[in-house]
Amino acid sequence: MIKEFMLMGLLTAILLAIGFVVGWVFGNPEGVMLIALFIAAAMNILAYFHSDKIVLKMTGAKLVSEDEAPELYAIVERVAMRAGLPKPKVAIIDTPVPNAFATGRNPRNAVVAVTTGLLRHLSRSEVEAVIGHEMAHIKHRDILISAMAATIAGAIAYLAMIGRFSIWFADEDRGEASLLALLAGILAPIAAVLVQAAISREREFKADERGAKITGKPLALASALEKIEAVVSRGYTIRANPATSSLWIVNPIRGDALYELFSTHPPTWKRVERLRRLARQLMGS
């Protein structure tokens, strides 16, 4: 929690810094910062309250009834009961690539989605462990934390855009300020993305741990992660908007050598290592 507060504080510091620089160009630092923050907050509040519908559409997930997926519903209901949560809605994505995610602004509006590939390639115990991970995200209210980070990062993006164009509108006596604003407009969004990714990685570690404790199956979750990673690392991807990459239990979008630095997920081998260590601790107790 301390690390997450520090990361959120760093995001806020980036916002204040670029707001001051851009505001300096126009002679009104406070006004520019407040306008950008208001616009970003309005957009993210709208997305927050409709996140479940937006994400389902972006991923191609379809809500299913209990009659359509009785076994999956039974698993979700059992894990929700163990987690002390209301039973969420259930959705399925028709793709051979195994993966899963959870969305919704709070436990009463949550949705757990899995792919047909997950149901086909993972054992019942592994599916239950994956559902436990997603229930942990719901219990931790990770969507709220992501929305808070996105609000600040959104404001940074708006200020960065103003900073990049401010050089064309600055007075002659503010030339140095406009050049500094241009530089900040390029670097600040990159820094914001790095901090957002770090926050997301911390949430994944916590969801692994809490999910494993909910189901009592850390080794099953480790095995599930390895199976999903094996498919994703072979280049099989899900046809979904890259903006949803942070939601999936294993990031289906892969990049170059900078992947780990910018990734919203920790390396799978680190997650597996932690889960195996947790399994030994649980057996010892």
DSSP 32: H
Q: Averaged over 242-248, what is the pLDDT? A: 76
Where is pLDDT greater, at 155 or 273?
273
Per-residue pLDDT for 66 more than 90? Answer: yes
Tens digit of pLDDT for each residue in 72-115?
A: 999 999 999 999 999 999 999 999 999 999 988 889 989 999 99
What type of residue sits at position 94? D
Flag whether pLDDT at 260 surpasses 60: no
- Render 188-222 in DSSP notation, one character per residue: HHHHHHHHHHHHHHHHHHHHHHHHHHHHT-HHHHH
Residue 82's pLDDT is 96
pLDDT bin (cut points 50, 70, 90) of residue 257 is very low
What's the whole-number average pLDDT of the chain?
Answer: 82
pLDDT over 70 for what percent of the chain? 80
- Nearest partner of 116 among 259, 238, 223, 200, judged by Cα: 238
**Cα–Cα distance list, 174 to 29, 225, 265 (Å):** 14, 54, 42
Contact yes or no for 238/115 (Cβ under 8 A) = yes
Handedness of CA 82, 86, 87, 93 (dihedral sign): negative
- Cα 241 to chain centroid distance, Å, stands at 13
pLDDT value for 172: 57
* CA-to-CA separations, 45 to 41, 66, 148, 152, 200, in angstroms, rounded: 6, 31, 9, 12, 19
Mean pLDDT of 126-147: 89
Q: What is the arithmetic mean of pLDDT over 278-282?
A: 92
Long-range pairs for 228-232: beta carbons < 8 A, 24 or more residues apart = 228/98, 228/99, 228/118, 228/268, 229/268, 231/97, 231/98, 231/117, 231/121, 232/97, 232/99
Of 1-15, 200-214, 262-276, the range with the lowest mean pLDDT is 1-15
Tokens at 18, concatenated = 């670029």
Q: Residue 255 pLDDT > 60, yes or no?
A: no
Active site residue 273: no
Q: Which residues of 246-283 are buried (b: 16+ CB within 10 A; e: fewer)?
A: bbbbbbbbeeeeeeeeebbbbebeebbebbeebbeeee
pLDDT at 120 over 70: yes
Can you list the alpha helix ranges (DSSP code H) found in 60-174? Answer: 70-83, 116-121, 124-140, 142-165
Structural contact between residues 19 and 32, judged by C-beta atoms closer than 8 angstroms? yes
Mean pLDDT of 111-121: 96
pLDDT at 42: 74
* pLDDT, position 44: 67
Instruction: Tally the domains of the chain.
Output: 1
- In angstroms, the CA 178 to CA 23 distance is 10
**What pLDDT shows up at residue 251?**
84
The residue among 270 and 23 whose pLDDT is bigger is 270
Residue 31 has pLDDT above 80, yes or no: no
Where does the pLDDT of residue 261 fall: very low under 50, low under 70, confident under 90, or very high at 90 and above? low
* Identity of the amino acid at 201: R
Q: What is the DSSP letter of 283?
A: H
Q: What are phi and psi for residue 87, nearest 5 degrees?
A: -65, 125
- The secondary element (H helix, E strand) that includes residue 278 is helix 268-284
Q: Catalytic one among 126, 128, 134, 204?
A: 134
Give the mean pLDDT of 122-142: 95
Is the overall model pTM greater than 0.85, yes or no? no
Domain extent at residue 242: 2-284
Query: Rounded distance, CA 177 to CA 50, Å?
Result: 39
Residue 150 has what pLDDT?
Answer: 63
Rounded CA separation 241/184 (Å): 28
